[in-house]
Structure 1
Amino acid sequence: MLNDMTYLTTDELAKRIKYDARTIREQLKDSVLLEGVHYIRPFGGRKILFVWETIQKDMVKASSAGIFLPMARGGMAHG
């Protein structure tokens, strides 16, 4: 096996993290979830696949690092 990563569509990720798929696409993608780190575009196409293990690790790390307040443009304020 070359890669043991779990790749998820936006809808599959939304179900796992209990967020609306639209919120992921419009607010989290490219501000919190970064291309090449948290998601890829296979074969250079439009489809996006999220890397579950990286997202899960970073969610736990962020929640233990302190308080984060969501901001209007999708960023996070550190409290």
Structure 2
Amino acid sequence: MSEQTYLTTDELAARIEYDARTIRDRLKDSVLLEGIHYIRPFGGRKILYLWDAIERDIGRYSKDNGFVVPMANGGVCNG
């Protein structure tokens, strides 16, 4: 079993050089999806981001890839 890297919003913000507010207000639930890119441990309010999934998908929604809509299953719908 591989070891997962869990990050808080502030730690993720530092890693990808985005403001923590941007992550919370614009990325969470649009390109960062619950159960794929983040979890709520023990059903609580705290959010932990899954670095491995984010690192895997970080370029997936780039303008260079055309217009895409992220799907809940982790796939994308090309527009």
**TM score, norm. by length of structure 1:** 0.76
- Flag the 1:15–1:59 CA change in 2: closer, same or farther, 3 A: same
**TM score, norm. by length of structure 2:** 0.76
Whole-Å separation in 2 of the counterparts to 1:50 and 1:29: 10
Listed one character per residue, the Cα deviations across residues 19-53 of structure 1 (whole Å, up to 9, x for unaligned) are 00000000000001000000000000000000000
Runs of 4+ in 1 over 6 A off after TM superposition: none
Q: CA RMSD in A?
A: 2.2
Whole-Å separation in 1 of the counterparts to 2:64 and 2:3: 27
Secondary structure of 1:50's counterpart equals strand
Paired residues, number: 69
Which letter does structure 2 place at the counterpart of 1:46?
R
| Structure 1 gaps, min length 5 | 69-77
Indicate the structure with greater helix content: 1
Specify the alignment match of 2:33 in structure 1: 34
Whole-Å separation in 1 of the counterparts to 2:11 and 2:21: 12
Specify the alignment match of 1:73 in structure 2: none
Deviation at 1:65, TM superposition (A): 5.9
Where do residues 1-79 of structure 1 align in structure 2 (5 Å cutoff)?
2-63=1-62, 66-67=65-66
| Structure 2 gaps, min length 5 | 68-77
